[in-house]
Structures are given as structure tokens and as C-alpha cells.
Amino acid sequence: MLDHRYAQIRARTLALAEPLSEADCQAQSMPDASPVKWHLAHTTWFFETFVLERHEPGFRPHDPAFRVLFNSYYNGIGEQHPRPQRGLITRPGLAEVKAYRAAVDARMAARLAATPGDRGLTALVELGLQHEQQHQELILTDLLHLLSVHPGSPVYQPADAGPDAAPGVPGWLPFDGGLVEVGHTGDGFAFDNEGPRHRQFLRPYALGRRLVTQGEWAQFVADGGYREPRWWLSSGWDFVRTQRLEAPLYWRPDGTVFTLHGCVARDPDRPVLHLSLYEADAYARWWSAQHPRQPPARLPTEFEWEHAAAGPQLQQRFDPAWQWTASAYAPYPGFRAWDGAVGEYNAKFMVNQYVLRGGSRATPAGHSRVSYRNFFPAEARWQFSGLRLAHDVD
Ligand SMILES: [Fe+2]
């Protein structure tokens, strides 16, 4: 069962790289984004370091140099190659990285066959698979940024010929709030940052039935939203001015938007993507000024989102965009990080970041859940990040 799941998820990662050249897999377009080749190696390093090194008798590393090259941020493991310079790791080449994957996969298959009921092993393998799925999404977000800076607007994948999901229905969904329970529950996998389950008090609130659309965002742009300081938080206004922002990332002046399918016409009924928290927050303030008879709009808190998403009414929960919340990424009451070096997975990033909820079109199927907490700094725009408005109900 787990061996089958392992093989499937690992194969999916390789399939994502299949349409790409070695040069595509090598390049790094900005410090926050990693090369595809690095993702392929790092996810393998994770299994080698956290599973094989502990559970394989007579363990020997595939290549001792990989321990530093493909360590992302685990100080408990040791030194790391600097993230902004991952694109400069020209050796090993792509073929050697694929051979590294195959070698670790064979050793992992042997381990799973030798000790199928080992709970410690099983838990680490599951964590490695969840980690691999997170990197599958990062491969796509990082690749999209890389291709976006190419003047030829390359196509990664032809557009899907199948029917797209129906656009959402506008309007508001009211919730009573009260003392509610949030956080992961049940026996399935969850990251440490999703617990413990605990109570939060919510005032009555309403959430937008659907995400803010490209058509609505175009009105914000046309109304000078990016040039009017009163809509923006102070650091957001600095960000807009220093970066000379005029529209969401990947919007082009000719009315198209750059996607993994190349440049496509903007669709006014589809959600706007690739927003920073600053843009999402500014839009809410602008929207409120346009609708003076309605309660002021704001970003939802992560607890409002989770409470609403646990019920059946909320549209566009896990697709097509991660949804910014007003909640700072912080530990829940009673939080305990995982023991050992894997405790660095989430806990040490609980500062200067905001929580996004939901999932995106780049998230592997079945990977997200209502208690899932994604997190990024307020200025991050290269993820598939969108916006759902909220307001207080008096
Ligand atoms: Fe990672």
C-alpha cells in the first residue's frame, strides 16, 4: 500500500519534469524560486537523510557532497548551499540526479519490503511523500516564474481541452460564529502546525461565496488602485512603489496573462491569481469604498476560513487559488514541534509570514484539507494565491 503510494508520487514528480530540457531544469529565475533539478534532488535527499540514514542497516550516502548541496534549511543536519545560488549547482547534471532518484527509490523499496509494519519508518515515509507533494507544487510555481521571464512566453503544457470548473456564484455566506473548534482532527496525516485542535471565538461574519475575479480586479486597476496610497498598508505602499507594481504578477499590458499554457486572454469570470497579501488587503479597502452601503470588507481570519470550509456551503475551497488570510502564521495554543531535525520543517518559520488556506490548481489532488496552513511573507506573489473577501455581521 505505502510502497505503491511511494512509487506513484515519486513518478508524478518526474513526470512534471518530463516536458523540460536540461537547461529548463537548471535555471533559477529569482532567489525565492529553485531550479527543477534542485527540487528533484532535494526531495530525494529528504528520503535518504530522514528515512534511509535512520532505518537502513550499514547506511552509506549516495554521494557525501549531496548532504550539503540538497539540504534546504535543516541546521540539525548540517551546512546548506545558499538558496539564491541553487541555479549555480551545475553538477551533478540532470541525468545524475535522476540516477540518484532511482538509486534511493530502490533502497526505499527494499526498506519498505523488509519492515512493512515499522511505525517509525511508515510515519517518516508518509512525511517524505507529503513533502514531495509540496515540492510538486513548488516545481510548477517556480517553473512558471522562470518561463515568465523568457521573452518568447514558452508553453509548458498545452491548455487542457476538458471543461474548466464553473465560475463561482457571487454573494455572501453568513456564519454565526461563536466558540468553534479548529485544527486537525482524525487519524489522517497532518503537519505539526495544524494542531493541537483548540477552540477559537468567532464573531458573526460573512465570507464571499467565491474568490475575487479577474474582472473585478481589472476595475481596481482601472480605478488607479495601484496608484492610490490610501488603500495600502504602509509597508505595502513601499512595496508597490519600489517594485513599480501596476497589476498582479503575470498580467501583461495587452490584456493577457502568462500561465503554464503560455499567454492567454484574461477571463473576467475566473479568480485573479498571483497576488501578494498587500494587494489582497488593499483591494478589500478599495472595495469597501465602492460599496458604502455594505459592511466594510476585509481579509478573513484563518479560523473563519476553516470554520466555513468545514461545512458544505463554501465554493472554491481547494481550487483554484490559495487564499490569503489576515492571520499571522503563529503556533496554536499548546503547539509542539516534531522531535528532532524534522521539527525544523514548520516551527522555525513562525514569524513575519501570513497564513493562506485552501489549495490551488497546482496542488496535488488530495494533498490539502480544511486544517492545512500554507504560509508566505506578505510580498510573495509567485504562488497561486488569490483572495476571498470577508466582513463582520452585526
Ligand atoms: Fe523541502
Q: What is the pLDDT of residues 244-274, one digit of tens each?
A: 999 999 999 999 999 999 999 999 999 999 9
Burial of 288 (0-12, 13-18, 19+ CB in 10 A): middle
Q: Residues 79, 85, 86, 92: is their CA dihedral positive or negative?
A: negative
Report residue 270 as a C-alpha cell: 475566473
Q: Give the distance (Å) from ligand 1 centre to CA of residue 336.
A: 20
Q: How far is CA 260 from the centre of its chain?
A: 16
Residue whose entry in the numeric block shows the C-alpha cell 540514514: 53
Q: Does residue 115 have a pLDDT over 70?
A: yes
Mean pLDDT of 362-381: 97
User: 42 CA to middle of ligand 1, Å?
Assistant: 7
Element (H, E) at 326: strand 322-328
Phi and psi for 283 in degrees, rounded to 5?
-60, -40
Compute the half-sphere exposure of residue 126: CA atoms within 13 Å on the CB side of its CA.
14
Q: How far is the CA of 204 from the centre of ligand 1 (A)?
A: 38
Q: What pLDDT, on the 0 to 100 scale, is given for residue 239?
A: 98
d(CA 287, CA 390): 11
What count of other Cβ atoms lies within 10 Å of the Cβ of residue 4?
A: 9
CB atoms within 10 A of CB 92: 18
Q: How far is 72 from 53, CA to CA, in rounded Å?
A: 17
Q: How much distance in Å is there from the Cα of 216 to the middle of ligand 1?
A: 35
Amino acid, res. 88 = L
How close is the Cα of 70 to the center of ligand 1, in Å?
9
Amino acid at 350: M
Average pLDDT over the chain, rounded to whole? Answer: 96
SS3 at position 141 = helix
- 287 CA distance to ligand 1 middle (Å): 37
Centroid of ligand 1 to alpha carbon of 154 (angstroms) = 27
How far apart are the CA of 379 and the centre of ligand 1, in A? Answer: 21
User: Which residues have CB under 8 Å from 238's CB, separation 6+?
Assistant: none
Per-residue pLDDT, averaged over 76-104, amounts to 97
What is the reported pLDDT for 164? 60
DSSP string, 22-70: HHHHH---STTS--HHHHHHHHHHHHIIIIIHHHSTT---S-TTHHHHT
Q: CA-to-CA distance for 154 and 263, rounded, in angstroms?
A: 8
Contacts of 381 (CB under 8 A, 6+ apart): 248, 249, 274, 275, 276, 279
Q: Is 194 helix (H, G, I), strand (E, B) or coil?
A: helix
Mean pLDDT of 175-185: 97
Beta strands in 225-321 (DSSP E): 256-259, 262-265, 297-298
Distances (CA, A) of 309 to 136, 175, 178: 24, 11, 16
Element holding 188 (H helix, E strand): none
At which residue does the C-alpha cell 484563518 appear? Answer: 302
- Report the pLDDT value the prediction gives residue 4, as an integer from 0 to 100: 97
* Distance, CA of 212 to CA of 104 (rounded, Å): 44
CA dihedral 198, 336, 344, 377 (to 10 degrees): 30
Q: What is the pLDDT of residue 116?
A: 83
Q: How confident is the model over 137-166, as pLDDT tens digits? A: 999 999 999 999 999 999 999 987 555 666
Distance 43 CA to ligand 1 centre (A): 6
Span 183-242, pLDDT tens digits: 999 999 999 999 999 999 999 999 999 999 999 999 999 999 999 999 999 999 999 999
Distance CA 298, CA 185 (A): 28
Q: How far is the CA of 344 from the centre of ligand 1 (A)?
A: 11
Question: What average pLDDT score do residues 63-89 get?
Answer: 97
Distance CA 218, CA 212 (A): 11
Q: What average pLDDT score do residues 344-363 get?
A: 97
Can you name the residues that pair with 256 across neighbouring β-strands?
A: 265
Q: Which pLDDT belongs to residue 163?
A: 54
Q: How much is the pLDDT for 262?
A: 96
